[in-house]
A and B are shown apart, each in its own frame.
Chain A
Amino acid sequence: MKPFTTIIKRALPLLLAASWRALAVDATNVVPPVTARDFYNAGTRLLAGKKYDDAEKLFQSAVAAQDEPVQPAAVYNLGHARFAEGAELIKKGPDAQKVSARGHAASAAGEQAIRRSESALADNNLDRMIAAYLEGRGARRELRDAEKAVAAAMEIYGKTLQKWQRAADDFKSAAELNPADTNATQNAEIVERDLAQLVDSLRKMQAMLGAMGKQRADLGKLLGRLKGQIPGPNAPPGAPGEDGEEDDNGKNGKHPEDLVGQKENASLQGKEESPSALSPDQAGQILEGLSIDGGRRLSMSDQEGRPLQPGKGRNW
């Protein structure tokens, strides 16, 4: 009886493990890919399931296997996967319209603060200098936040740019490998058009970032001058000559609560878009090329998007 129990104890886990494995394979029908066609078919399944990152890796493996009949189609779908990945990045990233509008609003507020600071300094009016100083601090903070937002958006766009550049080259490669594949040529042209728009948008963002940086530096200098002009008892938070970034964080002995009753920049009161900040046309112009353009789709070849069934023409 004892040997029988021992056998049962040892064999049962093995039996269970084997049956679970068999069930898992049966349920998901997952067989590890080995050949270029396996990788290609697995990639198309993932592409159809919108798992672009994994699909890209599988198509890369299919291309790297150097199987001549499979390679053109695999390169073509690799282009699709990369293009879709780039589009996903933009979708998931910060809203470009909002970022751009915020940048313009911050820029306009900064411009206004500079003008008021210069005017207050010219008039040598203490009340106006204090008001201009506080407004300038708010504007500068807003500029810094807007800069961060634009930089984050630029990073996302930069990654998308890389993906799309590679996608365009993949489509060109597919066309070169199979000159009869006109879809590949067409797709390469479409991706290049989108790329041009993306580059244009990136340049605009870069210009905006540069302008905001310069504006912030100018504003910083003016704030320093204002602080120097305001007498001690009336001085706003922060000692003269310490008007760095830390000022905004209340590290100079004063807290934001000390400024209660004194008005800062309007944009800090929850009004993100001041009337003079940005016209809808301007915002639209900046963001013209940033939309993913859902209306225009890349044409799909008969091999793309879904694995072909065995026995129906080519089995990959």
Chain B
Amino acid sequence: MKTVTADQIREISGVDTRKCMKCGRCSASCPAYDEMDIRPHQFISYVQNGNIEPLMNSKSISKCLSCFACVERCPRNVKPAKVIEAVRVSVLRQRGETILSADEMPELLDENMPQQLLMSAFRKYKK
């Protein structure tokens, strides 16, 4: 997998990581915090420091729920969810990279699943 640059993450996310004042309200709000190896506030810090590779290999990118609690409560308008998304799409846009393949689907399906779930999961996990 080819590591993208911090500038590319900033461009895709539209986030200016310099605005972060490291208060930690994103990580205080995140409902997926305990599932993540790299936490929302660290995403901002890693991008600011140009350290993108660990982010691209992080399981956090499949754990973020896009629930926007971090966006809502950030006092500096930094939008951590957009940075996590930018890292995720930077992985998925590369040839052969996917978090969810069509082959695993039959095993994951159950009869009650709404179409919305399948659609959302494909949009988030596959290109």
Q: Do A and B come from one complex?
A: no
A residues engaging B (CB < 8 A)?
none
